[in-house]
Amino acid sequence: MLKNLRPPSLNSIQFRLTAGVVLAAALSIGGMAGWLNWRLRQILLSGHEEAVATLSQRFNDDVILYEEMMTTTEAVQKVIDRRAMGDTAIWVKAPSGELMAQSETLSMGSWQAAGLTEYLRSLPAQSSLETLMVGDRALAICIGPINRQGESIGTLFIVEDITQNHRTYLAMSRSLVIISGSMILLLAGLIALYVRQSLQPIKSLSQEMTGVTADSLNAKRLALDKAPTEVRELAQALDHTLEHLSQSWKQQRRLVGDVSHELRTPLTLVQGYLQSTLRRCQTLTEPQRDGLETAAAETDRTIQILNDLLVLARASMGHLHLSGERLDLKGIVLNAVTMADATGNRIEAEITDSPLWVRADASALRQVLVNLMDNALNYSTPDVGVTVRLFRQEQTAVVQVCDRGRGIPLADQAEIFEPFYRVDVDRSRATGGTGLGLAIVKALLARMRGTVTVQSNPGTGSTFTVHLPICQGV
């Protein structure tokens, strides 16, 4: 479960898809929120700036109308009285800086509070149109000249209190940020889940393929019926590949088996002929005898390789018939020790007292143990001994073959059970090795529901451990 929740790697399709879609969603929602914010600002704030600007433009025309009936100062005051409402303050300063006229609102309590009126009166007479924050009040301000025949007769100040609108705008902006942020987070979570779910069939496919081995090729068919069409098509293509592989693997094994079988018969004849010539012919010169002995030894070795190959081919095709008799492993181990160590002084056996019953083929099991013991003796110097242990571990019988030889490098430890794999080819040839011994050990044990593992340190020695299930009942 926890493994499933691991964050995907930055290089994965899952991460790239999720990041791409989340980014697109975040940009769309962010863009929409930005546009809404801009519209809100337009409606709630900029609209008032435009209103005071329009008021400022009309002010001069209104003053000209009234000037026909009264003095300029009276006309200005008249227009101010008509235009200034509760939220709007208007005043005009003469070019000398003196106050010419002002609206009553400026002397109202709310405008007087916290020195707002003083602050506004001190504004410089420079044309501007802006929204200003003064303390906690928001004010739309328009300042402009009043001209008569190209000459300025004063500066007009129009201020509208838009604090309420500004607060509404801020509150709505804040809500927009919170809502769009939460929407992005929620969407990101949902998108991540959806992408993970959608890619699950591909993960299942690779998990199924990881489990495929040469032995399971034949039986393996990818069952992804509920997967999306593309993944199903991929699974079908892989199924075809598996089938082809399985067929060529079968053909290859059959070929190895047939060739080994076909070659073994004539070679056995040749070997028999060489042996009888060596035995019977007394007139052979020394070089002739040496040559025939070498030929006989090589024939022997080749027949051994062919026999091993035949065992491996039969085992992998499931044609190796092993008996599953009930055996006391103690007897087999002791037997194998005697066969491997003819002199009886190199292998020390530490064997449990009580019998250990397993179900196996006696001769195959003996071959497994002799192979391991031969290797232990061959790959260590003649002066050091080898220890063979037999003990019980829960429901398993364990045989360990431990040597203090040259050991096996870590990189080679997984490979040595493959056919023809040899760590040191020259050394292996010198010991008469073919590179098939451990592959046969593994194949035979697998047929008897057993396993073999290795632990080794170069220069210190190796321990090969065989596990076989204890046989329950009789």
Candidates 25-33, 208-216, 350-358, 433-441; binding stretch for ligand ADP (CB under 6 A): 433-441
Q: Which positions ≥6 away from 195 have C-beta within 8 Å?
A: 14, 17, 18, 21
The 362-381 site mask, x for binding ligand ADP (CB under 6 A), equals -------------xx--x--
For ligand ADP, the closer CB: 79 or 386:
386
CB-nearer residue toward ligand ADP: 216 or 457: 457
Extract the tokens encoding 21: 């879609």
Told to check if 428 binds ligand ADP by CB under 6 A, we report: yes
The per-residue b/e assignment along 244-272, b for 16 or more CB within 10 angstroms, e otherwise, is eebeebeeebeebbeebeebbeeeeeebe
User: Residue 422, interface with ligand ADP (CB under 6 A)?
Assistant: yes
C-beta atoms surrounding 466 within 10 Å: 24
| By the rule CB under 6 A, 442 interacts with ligand ADP | no
Selected from 89, 106, 158, 416, the binder of ligand ADP by CB under 6 A is 416
Identify residues 247-276 at the interface with ligand ADP (CB under 6 A): none
Calculate helix-pair angle for 13-41, 163-210, nearest 10 degrees.
Answer: 170
Given 337, 356, 408, 445, the residue binding ligand ADP (CB under 6 A): 408
Is 233 or 415 the residue whose CB approaches ligand ADP more closely? 415
450 contributes a contact to ligand ADP by CB under 6 A: no
Residues 6+ apart with CB under 8 A from 463: 400, 401, 402, 403, 454, 455, 456
Three-class SS of residue 58?
helix
Nearer to ligand ADP, 257 or 435 (CB): 435
Is the CB of 144 or the CB of 437 nearer to ligand ADP?
437
The residue with tokens 């098509």 is 233
In this complex, which beta carbon is closest to ligand ADP, that of residue 113 or of residue 425? 425
In the complex, minimum distance from the CB of residue 378 to ligand ADP, in angstroms, rounded to a whole number: 7
CA atoms of 230 and 222, how far apart (whole Å): 14
Nearer to ligand ADP, 12 or 381 (CB): 381
For residue 224, the minimal CB distance to ligand ADP (Å) is: 39
User: For residues 262 and 418, which CB has a smaller minimum distance to ligand ADP in the complex?
Assistant: 418
- Asked if 222 and 205 touch (Cβ cutoff 8 Å), the reply is yes
Q: Which of 406, 448, 450, 471 binds ligand ADP (CB under 6 A)?
A: 406
Segment interacting with ligand ADP, rule: CB under 6 A, options 166-174, 254-262, 317-325, 417-425: 417-425
Q: What is the 3-state secondary structure (H, E, C) of 117-131?
A: HHHHHCCCCCCEEEE
Closest residue to ligand ADP, based on beta-carbon distance: 433
> Closest by alpha carbon to 210, among 218, 222, 228, 197?
222
Residues numbered 148 to 207 that lie near ligand ADP (CB under 6 A) are: none
- Residue selected from 92, 438, 444, 468 as contacting ligand ADP according to rule CB under 6 A: 438
Beta-strand relationship, 347-351 and 325-328: unpaired
Pick the binder of ligand ADP from 368, 437, 447, 450 (CB under 6 A): 437
Q: Distance between CA atoms of 329 and 192, rounded to whole angstroms?
A: 56
Q: Does 403 bind ligand ADP (CB under 6 A)?
A: yes
Q: How many residues bind ligand ADP (CB under 6 A)?
A: 21
**Separation of alpha carbons 199 and 347, rounded Å:** 57
Comparing CB distances to ligand ADP, the nearer of 225 and 426 is 426
CB of 401 to ligand ADP, least distance (A): 8
Question: How far is residue 155's CA from residue 145's CA, in Å, rounded to a whole number?
Answer: 4
Tokens standing for residue 136 = 């906690």
Q: Does 306 bind ligand ADP (CB under 6 A)?
A: no
Of 148, 130, 147, give the one whose Cα is nearest residue 139: 130
Choosing from 88, 366, 434, 442, the residue that interacts with ligand ADP (CB under 6 A) is: 434
- Options 424, 446, 451, 455; binder of ligand ADP; rule CB under 6 A: 424
Scanning 222-328, the segments in alpha helix (DSSP H) are 229-280, 286-317
Q: Which two tokens stand for residue 139?
A: 């004010």
Chain residues binding ligand ADP by CB under 6 A are 375-376, 379, 403, 405-406, 408, 416, 421-424, 428, 433-439, 462
